[in-house]
């Protein structure tokens, strides 16, 4: 069991980037030692999202057609976006927009857990920062699901963690982009 002060993200090995013309997509894959049912609840339940995701949501994301407000956490000013869940196949797939970004989550039942994949479009300049941020979110999610919550680490707070700076630099190098500093 580790606490928040002991947390150090692992190596920059969960993200890749795909480019199609001027469109950039960040793809993150994480093997979790938890059932698809447990991971699905963490992706759709507002209470659990509040523990690990970079946004708060005012309703459940568990049904296609649900309209919700997503509020960015840690931004200089609250950014609230209304969205509709466009796909919700329990324990398999979830899709919605967060601002101008498509969010597609896929859950694959694998031996001993779930392979969680996130696809999201992102601006070229922010691809390494996005990878570092989501990497930390995935770590926090894994701790939450393991019964050892360390609390949400997002936005400017995440950037203060030495591990985030390292991830940003490593992902920048991997993707061949300039490491933005804040």
Exposed/middle/buried for residue 27 (C-beta within 10 Å: 0-12, 13-18, 19+): middle
- Helix, strand, or coil here: 156? helix
Q: In what order do the strands lie in the sheet with 80-84?
A: 55-57, 67-72, 80-84
Phi and psi at 32, nearest 5°, equal: -115, 140
Residue 83 exposure: Cα atoms within 13 Å on the Cβ side: 29
**Could you read off the pLDDT of 22-53 as tens digits, one per residue?**
889 999 999 999 999 999 999 999 999 999 99
pLDDT in tens, 81-93: 999 999 999 999 9
pTM of the model: 0.94
């Amino acid at each position: 069991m580790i606490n928040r002060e002991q947390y150090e993200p692992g190596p920059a090995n969960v993200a890749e980037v795909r480019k199609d013309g001027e469109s950039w997509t960040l793809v993150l894959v994480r093997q979790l030692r938890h059932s698809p049912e447990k991971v699905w609840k963490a992706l759709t339940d507002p209470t659990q999202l509040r523990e690990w995701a970079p946004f708060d949501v005012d309703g459940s994301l568990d049904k296609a057609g649900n309209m919700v407000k997503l509020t960015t956490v840690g931004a200089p000013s609250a950014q609230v976006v209304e969205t509709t869940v466009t796909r919700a196949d329990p324990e398999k797939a979830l899709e919605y927009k967060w601002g101008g970004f498509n969010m597609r989550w896929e859950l694959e039942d694998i031996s001993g857990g779930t392979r969680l994949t996130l696809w999201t479009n992102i601006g070229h300049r922010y691809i390494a920062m996005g990878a570092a941020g989501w990497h930390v979110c995935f770590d926090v999610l894994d701790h939450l699901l393991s019964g050892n919550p360390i609390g949400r680490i997002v936005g400017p707070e995440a950037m203060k963690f030495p591990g985030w700076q390292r991830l940003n630099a490593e992902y920048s190098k991997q993707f061949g982009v300039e490491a933005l500093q804040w």
